[in-house]
Every structure is written in C-alpha cells, then in structure tokens.
Amino acid sequence: MISLDFLEQVGFFKKFSDHQLAALQKCGEVLTFQRDEQLFAEGAASRHLWIVMEGQVALQFGMQGKKSRDRDAVSFVSESQTFGWSCFVPPYTYRLSGYCAGRKCKVVAMEKDKLLALFEKDAEIGYSVMNDLVCVVGNHFHRFQDELAKQMGNDIINAW
C-alpha cells in the first residue's frame, strides 16, 4: 500500500490534506521492477501516472533489438518524482520507454481513469495536479529548446 507520508513527499501532492491524500492513495498500486525491466514501451497506450518510490527509472527512446544498456537515456527519474504525464495529453501514448535503471526500483502506478474520476469529484485536486502538470510540460519544452539551440549553435560553428 502507498503510505500517506510518501504521497505527501511527491511534488504534485504536497499541498493536499490527509483526506485528499487518502483519496489519491486509492488510485494507485505499488509495483517492483528489476534492472533493465521495462515499465512501459514507447508508443503504447499511456494509462498511468508514475511515481518513483525507490531506485531510479530511465526514460529512453525505444530501439528494438538492442539491450537496454545500449540505449541512450533521455532522462532519469528518481525518488518522489512523477513521470508519465502523457496519460493526460492526446494522443495518450508514451513518447519514451521506461526501464528500471538500478538493481531494483519500486514505483507507484496511478491509474489515469481513477485519477480523472477523482478530479471530477474534487476540483481542487484536479486543478492543482493539472496546473503542476502544465509546469512540468513547460519545463520539458524549455529544456528541449535550450538543447536544440545549443545543437544548432554547435552545427553552425562546426560548419565554418
């Protein structure tokens, strides 16, 4: 079971009351994965918002036929961090694949449908989570822009 103390540490859920955290608790389940085990695949239907409880998850572009250590990780997600926000954004598919990056990782898989039903019941939870989600997506977009600008700058300099 997901403890209220753990949920309270998660950035998306820090401001909620114990009653609200208890409602969120019912939306998820704890899953354990071993090194290189896949949590989800790029292109698959995104049905969960994920939270790392222990260990680390690597988010990578899927490369069929290669071992996970041969893939380039786009990002690593650590304890109390949330990922899988694509479950709330059309076309509702994962943009990357998720793999257990250490010996073992423990994650919370929060069901999208249960979360959406909760958001309808408690608009404060829904508004707050979606507001935080917009901030996460915005931060990803800005990091992408910075990386793209850096790459374009390197290409221009190397072309001289």
Q: What is the pLDDT of residue 58?
A: 94
Give the tens place of pLDDT for each residue, 47-93: 999 999 999 999 998 655 454 454 567 788 889 899 999 999 999 99
What is the structure's pLDDT at 154?
A: 85
pLDDT tens for each residue of 94-142: 999 999 999 999 999 999 999 999 999 999 999 999 998 888 777 767 7
pLDDT of residue 64: 52
DSSP letter (8 states) at residue 159: H
Q: Provide CB contacts within 8 A for 8, sequence distance 6+.
A: 14, 16, 21
What average pLDDT does range 15-37 have in this prediction? 97
**Beta-strand (E) ranges in 112-150?**
none
pLDDT tens, position by position, 1-16: 899 999 999 988 999 9
Q: Do you find a cis peptide bond into 90, omega within 30 degrees of 0?
A: no
What's the rounded mean pLDDT across residues 140-152? Answer: 78
Question: Which domains are delineated in the chain?
Answer: 4-159 (2.60.120.10)
pTM of the predicted model, to two decimals?
Answer: 0.82
Q: In this structure, which amino acid lies at residue 144? A: F
Supply the pLDDT for residue 70.
43
Ramachandran class of 43: left when φ > 0, alpha when ψ lies in -120 to 50, beta otherwise: left
Burial class (CB in 10 A: 0-12, 13-18, 19+), 77: buried
Q: How far is CA 60 from CA 10, 40, 79, in A?
A: 23, 11, 18
The predicted pLDDT at position 147 comes to: 78
